[in-house]
Amino acid sequence: MRSSEEPPRFKLREARKGMGMSAKGTRRKSGELVYQADLVKKEVMEKLQELGRRVVEDLRRKRWPSIELPLRTTKNIVYDEQLRQYVLGPKKSVRTLSNIRHVRPFAQLVWLAKFAKQLLETGKTSTLRDTYYVALGEQIDFEDQSESDDIIMELESVLGHPREDFNIFPEERASIYGDLVIEYTVPGFRGRRIDLSSHPDGYAIGPALTTAEFVRCGAEQVFVIEKGAVFSRFVEEGADRKFKALLIHTAGQSPRNCRKLIRRLREELNLPVYVFTDADPYGVHIASVLIHGSALSAHIKQINVPDAVWAGVYATDITRYKLPTMRFTEMDEKRLSELLVDPRYQTDPWKREVKYFEKLKRKAELEAFSKYGLEFIVKDFLPERLAELQKR
């Protein structure tokens, strides 16, 4: 199914030649083995320590401590042509203890930085929910978890690193299946290897898998699938073998760990990425966030996959394949109105399909192809769509 213009099958040793990389990580001149994940953690730790030093130095000099925060609003989001994603612009705000209204969020942010440092020092991880309850246990005043989550995003923007880099994670729900052998780099599991085709339900894309080294890959492309039922269908129908593909289930909007892993598969293994979503305004948005980046995470760089290709299901596929449909809900209408004015959807195929949704006012799910039999989506639709995309 591959066109002659597509990148050749990835060869691990060739791709890493000359970069100081082995199947296990980076070797220094001393012979010491250092994983990339360790280097990231070290950088985050240094930034956390620097943040603490600045606060202490302000107090020592009898100045009001202050922290500069990038302004996280849609009006401060710009498209970076070099990174090929939406990032925060130059506008910033200052949080200072000289302002009584800033005292509470300032204390929350400093506590969270301390907690993140503890996680890195001890090699432990925490979920967003755990972090909220630890804060309550230490008498940190958060009204609810959403407030705690927002402070975590503020720390991300200050450090320039996603929360995953300081060991705070959401509940995992994405998974991966296919011909890829990984080697774990996390403490307690370092050096252990897993074949991701050895579990029929796929492996959860958590922090350990996201930071693992790629040892051997027999796949030639990646299929990113919004729906769990269709992911299972792809596994059952052997889509991984028929198309030499890694299968990734995002369970709706792809978690950031999942996006990070997909980007690594694209950059490190040179694998084409195809994204399959429901034919509705939310499906369009799910694909766009993976490819262009999200407004909510614009302060985090390089967790989008700009070379990924949205492969449908398109609004026009509803008509083309005569799929069973449902009427738009009020939420669908609202989301569509947002897409119509969003700069990420002003070129084709995005603009074309959004306009068709506006005309059709109907939506369909990936599972709608089962109208023609359970095998149809893998046997008929998938090869047709890949052939069309590879001709472009």
261 and 297 Cβ atoms separated by less than 8 Å? no
Give 34: exposed, middle or buried? Use CB within 10 Å, 0-12, 13-18, 19+. Answer: middle
Query: Each residue of 124-156: b (16+ CB within 10 Å) or e?
Result: ebbebeebbebbeeeebebeeeebbbebbbbbb
β strands within 117-232, DSSP E: 126-127, 168-169, 175-177, 180-183, 193-195, 203-204, 213-217, 221-225
253 and 288 Cβ atoms separated by less than 8 Å? no
Question: Three-class SS of residue 58?
Answer: helix
In this structure, how many other beta carbons lie within 10 angstroms of the beta carbon of residue 348? Answer: 10
CB within 8 Å of 228: residues ≥ 6 apart: 249, 251
Question: Three-class SS of residue 35?
Answer: coil
Give the separation between CA 370 and CA 359, rounded to whole angstroms. 25
Structure tokens at 237: 């129908």
Residue 133 falls in the annotated catalytic set: yes
Residue type, 80: D
Terminal-residue alpha carbon distance, the chain: 14
In this structure, how many other beta carbons lie within 10 angstroms of the beta carbon of residue 238? Answer: 10
Containing 310, the helix (H) or strand (E) segment is: strand 309-310
Q: Which among 133, 184, 321, 372 is annotated as catalytic? A: 133
Active site residues: 133
